[in-house]
Amino acid sequence: MSSQTTSLRATVPTPQPPCQLRNFIGGQAVDGVRTFTKVNPVDGSPIAEVHEAGRHEVDRAVAAARAALDGPWGRMSVTERATMLRCIADAIERRTDDLVAAEVGDTGKPETLARDLDVARAAANFRAFADIVSAAGLDSFLTELPDGRRALNYAVRKPLGVVAVIVPWNLPLLLLTWKLAPALATGNTVVVKPSEETPSSATLLAEILVEAGLPVGVVNVVHGFGADSAGELLTTHPGIDGVTFTGESSTGSAIMRAVAPRVRPVSFELGGKNAAVVFADADLDTAIAGLARSTYLNTGQVCLCTERIYVERSIFADVADGLAEQAARLRLGRPENPATTTGPLISPQHREKVLGYFELAREEGATVLAGGGVPTLGDGLDAGSWIEPTLWTGLDNSHRVVREEIFGPVAALIPFDTEEEAIALANDTDYGLAAVTWTSDLTRGHRVAQRMRVGMSWVNTWYLRDLRSPFGGVGLSGIGREGGHHSLEFYTEPTNVCVQL
């Protein structure tokens, strides 16, 4: 019995303490003023103790970035920086498995999604901006004045300086690299503040950058929260030359107030309450599959996801039935299971917010066609932040759940009768990030897409975009554009040089 007991105990894994995620400043891991626990949204288990940066750590990070900006990095040529970006892309691909594990641990999303979307796009972002900055040009003019003088005017790009990069928790690695790649391509240095919900991939990426040869201090990472923490300390810091942020509209407003006294530039991609319009002549199978993807991808936690679906009345029942069937087919489960299509929400707090809207929808008279609650999954998952993919009818634009961003796997189906009505309904929002038009009439598709009051307007597709095209929103959905030369414009200060000939 004694030997059997010993053998049995040997097969039981010893619980491992959560890993330590420290700040990354000047190429070194740095303790914070305190730690907080990051839990896995899949099952509620602790996965990391995260070191929160205080004022001293933020000061160190900004100073390290300033020193790197004034050092050899600030004197590198465009060609040298583009080569560095391609080396970083190669290093990301070599560490794909580690980055997938970091993303999955923080977010609970399926491994296949993290691998095929988040990590693949991270590498692609660096390669894209290596090409974009290499091909970028600026104005030049040969001028002859009435008095006979001649002059050559030409512009050169200078780095904006030390940039605060604040990224959200839904696509943490993808959106970090979407900002980091153009910032580095144009010669800036950076202090990153990842979301407190997703600290792992930013910490790992900082290490990968140094391994790839990026000089220390060019990229620094400070952990913490927003108000009264690293976020506020960073955005109010006098050593920061600009702020780029993706996240909630209310946080964007707070950052604008923080930078206003120093008149620092900002670039914001904020919330969305995105609309899709489905006309009766659309290919219904394609449209329903596209709607399911735009509503439920990443558990609806994408700023571009569709939460309002306007359907021509003659096909309303068909679209409602088809989309409800698509929602029922989604498979919630552990991220390593290849059959899993849908992960949990990011946290118990966010689930409570989304469930509050579920309850509000019922109070407002919604008919629930799919979901509407919390699933029972077993297998140790019920302590996670799971929620059912949900679909409503019976609502209109006057209801709060149709007007306010929910950021979960949910959409409201609303009928319309005419093209003009559909456009008016879609544009009846304080947000203006993205819209989708589903129709087989491409003349109508062009016409409707251009009338949408949004920054991105798709026709018969969703989440498809050339990385050189403008990305951003209007209204509560943001300020400025990212992508291609639009990103270069934010991260640089053009200087005109005039030479009399």
Whole-number pLDDT of residue 16: 55
At 166-205, the pLDDT tens digits run 999 999 999 999 999 999 999 999 999 999 999 999 999 9
Question: Mean pLDDT across the stretch 400-426?
Answer: 98
Question: Domains of the chain by range and CATH?
Answer: 11-270+477-500 (3.40.605.10), 274-465 (3.40.309.10)
Whole-number pLDDT of residue 17: 58
pLDDT at 348 over 60: yes
pLDDT-based confidence at residue 12 (cuts at 50, 70, 90): very low
| Angstrom distance (rounded) from CA 365 to CA 395 | 7
| Angstrom distance (rounded) from CA 285 to CA 322 | 8
At 24-49, the pLDDT tens digits run 999 999 999 999 999 999 999 999 99
> Are 187 and 241 within 8 A, CB to CB?
no
- Tokens representing 169 are 């928790």
Please list the active-site residues. 269, 303
Looking at 260-407, list the stretches that DSSP marks H as alpha helix, in order from N- to C-terminal side: 284-296, 316-329, 348-363, 400-403
At 429-479, the pLDDT tens digits run 999 999 999 999 999 999 999 999 999 999 999 999 999 999 999 999 999
Whole-number pLDDT of residue 351: 98
User: Tell me, what amino acid is at 125?
Assistant: N
Whole-number pLDDT of residue 475: 96
10 Å CB burial of residue 456 (0-12, 13-18, 19+) is buried
- The residues near 414 (Cβ < 8 Å, ≥ 6 apart) are 308, 309, 310, 311, 393, 395, 396, 397, 402, 425
Task: Give pTM, 2 decimals.
Answer: 0.93
| Angstrom distance (rounded) from CA 431 to CA 405 | 9
At 269-301, the pLDDT tens digits run 999 999 999 999 999 999 999 999 999 999 999
DSSP-derived letter for residue 383 is T
pLDDT at 3 over 50: no
Q: In what order do the strands lie in the sheet with 140-144?
A: 140-144, 150-159, 492-500
